[in-house]
Amino acid sequence: MAVPTTVEAAGDQDGGTGLPPRRSRRVIVLTALAAATVLGGTGTWLLYGSAWLRATQVRVTGTEVLHPDEVRDAAQVPLNGPLVSVDTDVIARRLKARLPRISAVEVERSWPHAITLKVTERTPAALVKGDGYFAEVDADGFRFDERDTPLKGVPIIELRPDRDSASYRLFGTKRLLAAAVRVAADLPKVAYRDAQLIEVRSYDDITVELTGGRAVMWGSADQGAEKAVALAALMKVERHAEFFDVSAPTSPAASDG
């Protein structure tokens, strides 16, 4: 019986390809690279050249006061181009610049054809009374809109300082307004829901007028958290009181008028 030669035995071990091991590996690598190139080119074409992944819709969510069409118009999303080419950061900055009521916005690609604008609107903490208008300001004191009439459930800020006083010369209108906004933001819910007017005569003389002829002497805007706790407790105990004084939160007081 014939015994296989060394060359024949090696051929059997290589699976009968007839190719040296190094050349076989080279063929596999080149084939894989070619396949990757084809797939990559196809993917690039799908993203940039195909009509399948074009931006054709703009969806808006989260609006309360703003109309969705108003948001779409301000966003100016480029349509009918590749969805992947839409610059979401630019659109977000544009929206916040053109619509100050928007405090935050997420601009997302919603494959295969849409851009989604997820809007968060500012909430007014108070209204600042102007000459024939009311300006909406949020809890940070940011003024973002104006309206002709008061807004139900939102207190109005009125600045009535003595402009010749040392306090006014020291703090000025902007700081007094900021202090009033802080008071509006710090009011406990039980008082905020009934608050109608926040009157500022000086930095240390801020009064909150409530429904039913009631009033709160808040004092300065300092120690807001402590004053809120004191006022909430006082209003719970002194249900029939008409005047609450929390200017010194460690010794709050209430009276019938």
Count of Cβ atoms closer than 10 Å to residue 114 Cβ: 15
**What are the tens digits of pLDDT across the range 216-257?**
999 999 999 999 999 999 999 999 999 999 999 999 999 996
pLDDT band at 5 (very low <50, low <70, confident <90, very high): very low
Please report, for residues 13, 49, 81, 100, the alpha-carbon distance to residue 113 in angstroms, rounded to integers and kept in the order given. Answer: 54, 14, 10, 28
Domain ranges of the chain: 52-121, 126-255
Model confidence, pTM: 0.75
* CATH fold group of domain 126-255: Rossmann fold (3.40.50)
pLDDT tier, 23 (very low <50, low <70, confident <90, very high otherwise): low
Q: Kind and range of the H or E element at 199?
A: strand 195-202
Q: What is the pLDDT of residues 103-139, one digit of tens each?
A: 999 999 999 999 999 999 999 999 999 899 999 999 9
What separation in angstroms does the CA of 76 have from each of 11, 48, 95, 146, 180?
Answer: 68, 20, 9, 24, 37
Q: Look at residue 40 and tell me whether its pLDDT is greater than 60.
A: no
Question: Per-residue pLDDT tens for 154-171?
Answer: 999 999 998 888 878 888
Average pLDDT, the chain: 86
In sequence order, what are the beta bridge partners of 136? 127, 145
Intrachain domains 52-121 and 126-255 with the same fold:
no
d(CA 227, CA 186): 8
Radius of gyration of the chain (CA): 35
Class of domain 52-121: alpha beta
- Strands 195-202 and 156-159 turn out to be parallel
State the helix-helix crossing angle for 166-186 and 224-237, rounded to 10 degrees.
Answer: 60
Per-residue tokens: 179: 């202090």
The single residue listed with the structure tokens 């296989």 is 4
